[in-house]
Amino acid sequence: MTSANQAATRRPISVEEFEAFSALFGGNAVFVEELYAKYLENPNAVDPSWRDMFRELHDDARTAQANLTKGSWADHHTQVIGAKDPEEAKAANTNKKGPAATEELLKQVSFESVRALMLIRAYRVRGHFHANLDPLNLEERKPHPELDPATYGFSDDDWDKEIYIHGVLGRQKATLREIMDILNRTYCSTIGLEFMHIQSPEQKAWIQSRFEDGVGTPRLTNEEKKATLKELIEVESFENFLQLKFPSMKRFSVQGGDPMVPGVEMAIRTAASLGIEDINIGMPHRGRMNVLTSVMKKPFLELFSLFHGNLDYPEGVASSGDVKYHLGTSTDRDFGSKKVHMTLAANPSHLEAVDPVVLGRVRAKQDLKGDTERTRCMGILMHGDAAFAGQGLVAEVLSLSQLDAYKTGGTLHVIVNNQIGFTTNPKSGRSSPYSTDVAKMVGAPIFHINGDDPEAVVYACRLATEYLIEFRADVIVDIICYRKYGHNESDEPMFTQPRMYKEIRRHTLPATLYGQRLISEGTVSQSDVDKIFEQYRERFDKEFEDARTFRPNAADWLQGQWSGFARPEGEHPDVDTGADPKLLKEVGLAISKHPEGYDINPKILRQLDSKKEMIEKGEDIDWATGEALAFGTLLKQGYPVRMTGQDVERGTFSHRHAVLTDQTDERKYVPLNNLGDKQASLTIYNSNLSEFAVLGYEYGYSQASPNTLTLWEAQFGDFVNGAQVIIDQFISSAEMKWLRMSGLVMLLPHGYEGQGPEHSSARLERFLQLCAQDNMQVANCTSPANYFHILRRQLLRNFRKPLIMMSPKSLLRHRLCVSSLKDFAKGTTFQPVLGEVDKLKSKIRRVVLTSGKVYYDLLEARREKKIDDVAILRLEQYYPFPARKLAEALKPYKDAELVWCQEEPRNMGAWTFVSPFIEEVLEQAKSKQDRLLYVGRPAAASPACGYLKLHNQEQQGLVAEALGIN
């Protein structure tokens, strides 16, 4: 046995596989076996180029081995590759199998085979650098040395010499000239392919076989070609019509990137044919007008109506609206026997912010359909090249793609690559060769396509969709094109890109180019093309006039899963959120149990025993138990609960323990999913270290599944800063902009415990500044029972509002922050204002109105100092502001002085928001006091100090001032 075979026996590589591998690298036994033996012993002992080849071409070895043992090469050529001479292939193989066949084949190879395979591999890796990708030809394609046969020792005399390549490129033998012809057609045409970075041999082989077996040539039927031409003419005609009628109005034309529309259309048709039933689309503003009409089939009449300045919702529906190029819509489309529901998400100008929202919607719909295989719903995200490279959210979203909490079965990413970002050239906009390079982090295949070749765009979109559904993984289609106008139609691009726009102005648009191509090949005639253009002109003229008087008669928003919901009018009515005492005990005892045979951590066992004691006594229910009771009772009532965030399974502060871990084998047990028969499920996942993408994802989930309690918890409330775009552009404003409701709950640990400026404040003031028009709820509960009720209230009303919850840290185990079981029972409800709990004097000199954790500091200090003429009231909900409830709570204290106490600095927290509301209450009650007094930290630039001693001094000082202690 040779040294290489000896090494092979020490690794999980069969003798047959080794022989096949040797065949791939030529038949020079001494050279191949010794080099391969070195590689097996120590990969670092061989030259990096050989090491990479051994690793990368291992897939080919497996393919070769399979072909040696499974049957006829002639059949393979005839059925798959379409070889011109299957008899020649058959003669070369003669159906021999196993080592004997290998030995015979090895005699036919030489070191030239190794060099040829090195060249082939180089084209697989680098061929895209020589591809014809830029329709404007602005940059000269520079020769890449790895793609030059001379680099591998080939001379001009070798071009017609036959080389044995053992089935690679679909040939057993080929001349260098034939090899180069195949490689250039496959990897250097109008499609440039990046796939060798993929780690999965199966995925890599799938793409390789599709391209090398088909020698890289797009294959469309005549009917598909005609459909593509018609779609391109529709795009160009519509854009030209809008430019004629509204020349100065922004629409962010797609012209120059027109093939995006037939490409996406092909992706949708392909997905439908492969079983996809629901498609959710997110995209930026460029091209949205055409996606709305051509893909989503929104009537041209309705879009023209918007350009006329009409509303897109009926009279009487309260909405601020949004610009046309941000709007979304839903539709159902029939593709023969297949029907697909499609949604285009509304989105803001914050590029890429819609990405996680769309994927959250996809996951919610999969869960609603029971689509655990992720094969019935999918997402399509469209991007600009500058945004895909420049926005960090893209990387965050890609990083979610294979995580259990967020996987959706793959996303099709389509980039409309205008080769410019507003006025910024790619050389100033990214550090990588392509805008798509970030996608390599998840091993996504990348198709770069010349946008002037619509057939290549459509073909690549079909292959990309097939790949996505086959492997349930992300895939990238990069359409390299241009934009006809500037950033918008009124912009002058010649100021900054004169060379590019001189070329664009003399460049023929894709519809005309493709029409000329089909005319020359005889697929259509000039009269056919002219007729299509004329039909669209006539249609647009008619619908343009009809649009002047068009008025929608229904708002597209309370349909599907949202049927039966409504917008609340006026003050939100109280709702009984209490639960049956028997149900409370049933849930409480279930969550205090652990399964037999599980090795549970002793500290957790003590917590479970404590929970059981709480439930049995009906007293001292703590925060975590109150939350579990809320979840459990909702689950028993049939409402699913979904919760994600960093460390939510255990809880950042080790309080929740919703998932128990066996200390021996790390098996997982979720008590809330073991409440007995007939319950919905709790899905709770620790997220990756993202706020922006994860919050956007959960927001999207809540939109598509309104009867699920969807929660996101920040590790510390301060970290919500990283998701501010989602809060500003979606959570706080989507209902008014786009008539889209959400019941998302955000849990933001908040409270001053001396842990420094980044572990104290969830920036309450920022949320309150966003509050208006009944857009969301902001609360800071101080009792487990009130927390229980506010969570249940989210699902027990016939409308949905986001809930921003300032959740506690130290109160999770505070001896006073407890509730009785009766406070959770039927007949009880959420209390936005909590009154005095101690027995005080009848004459009260001061009322301290406060909220959150500082309440307990005040209460303990008052009891310690035996103060009995200062009442303390708690504002549990800031918005909607509970003016009526507060007025009732203040009635007994008409003659008392009223102060507001907070632990946040004066320019932060709730002070600037609540003071006008409270003063209105005082005015209406005809109080002697017309101005509310402030007690708290002075205004500051940093949310909190970083020194515990200083923190304690500040906290003691504000508590003393609030209570009037000298």
For residue 497, the SS3 value is coil
- Average pLDDT estimate for 802-823: 97
Looking at this protein, which amino acid is placed at residue 736?
M
pLDDT confidence of residue 555: 65
Confidence class of residue 489 from pLDDT cuts 50, 70 and 90? Answer: confident
* The pLDDT of residue 216: 58
Instruction: Name the residue with higher pLDDT: 11 or 526.
Output: 526
Mean model confidence pLDDT for the chain = 89
- How much is the average pLDDT of 330-348? 93
Residues 634-679 pLDDT 10s: 999 999 999 999 999 999 999 999 999 999 999 999 999 999 889 9
- pLDDT category of residue 859 using cuts at 50, 70 and 90: very high
Q: Token pair for residue 110?
A: 């030489």
Percent of the chain's residues with pLDDT above 90: 75
For residue 816, the one-letter residue type is L
Q: pLDDT at residue 620 above 80?
A: yes
pLDDT above 60 (res 18): no
- Burial pattern 949-960, b for ≥16 Cβ within 10 A else e, equals eebeebbeebbe
* β-strand pairing of 329-335 with 641-645: unpaired
pLDDT over 80 (residue 799):
yes
pLDDT score for 166: 75
Can you give the pTM of this predicted structure? Answer: 0.89
Percent of the chain with pLDDT over 70: 88
Over residues 927-947, the mean pLDDT reads 93
Residue-wise DSSP of 306-363: HHTT--SS-TT-------GGG--EEEEEEETTEEEEEEEPP--SSTTTHHHHHHHHHH
Give pLDDT, residue 854: 97
The least confident of 70-79, 684-693, 906-915 is: 70-79
Token pair for residue 227? 């459909």
DSSP 579: B
Per-residue confidence band for 60, with pLDDT thresholds at 50, 70 and 90: low
Alpha carbons within 13 A on the beta-carbon side of 137: 4
DSSP symbol at 595: -
Instruction: Find out whether 187 and 180 touch, Cβ atoms under 8 Å.
Output: no
Please give the pLDDT value at position 96. Answer: 40
Query: Per-residue pLDDT averaged across 902-918, rounded?
Result: 97
Tell me the pLDDT band of 212, cut-offs 50, 70 and 90.
confident
Torsion of CA 636, 641, 647, 649, to 10 degrees: 20
Confidence bin at 29 (pLDDT 50/70/90): very low
Strands 191-194, 173-175: pairing is unpaired
At 31, the pLDDT band (50, 70, 90 cuts) reads low
Residues 407-450: tens digit of each pLDDT: 999 999 999 999 999 999 999 999 999 999 999 999 999 999 99
Q: Which of left, alpha, beta for 823 (phi over 0: left; psi -120 to 50: alpha)?
A: alpha
**754: alpha, beta or left, given left = phi > 0 and alpha = psi -120 to 50?**
left
Return the pLDDT at 407.
97
Q: What CA–CA distances, in Å, run from 913 to 297, 764, 778, 855, 910?
A: 45, 10, 12, 19, 5
What distance in Å separates the CA atoms of residue 688 and residue 699, rounded to the nearest whole number? 16
| pLDDT greater than 80 at residue 299 | yes
pLDDT of 126-171, one tens digit each?
A: 999 999 999 999 988 888 999 999 988 899 999 999 998 878 888 8
Determine the average pLDDT of the residues in 360-365.
Answer: 98
- Region of poorest pLDDT, from 24-28, 332-336, 483-487, 708-712: 24-28
Alpha-carbon span 360 to 779, nearest angstrom: 25
Pull the structure tokens for residue 254. Answer: 């797609």
Measured distance between the N- and C-terminal CA atoms of the chain, rounded to whole angstroms: 95
- Residues 6 or more apart in contact with residue 3 via CB below 8 angstroms: 33, 34, 37
What pLDDT does residue 56 have?
Answer: 55
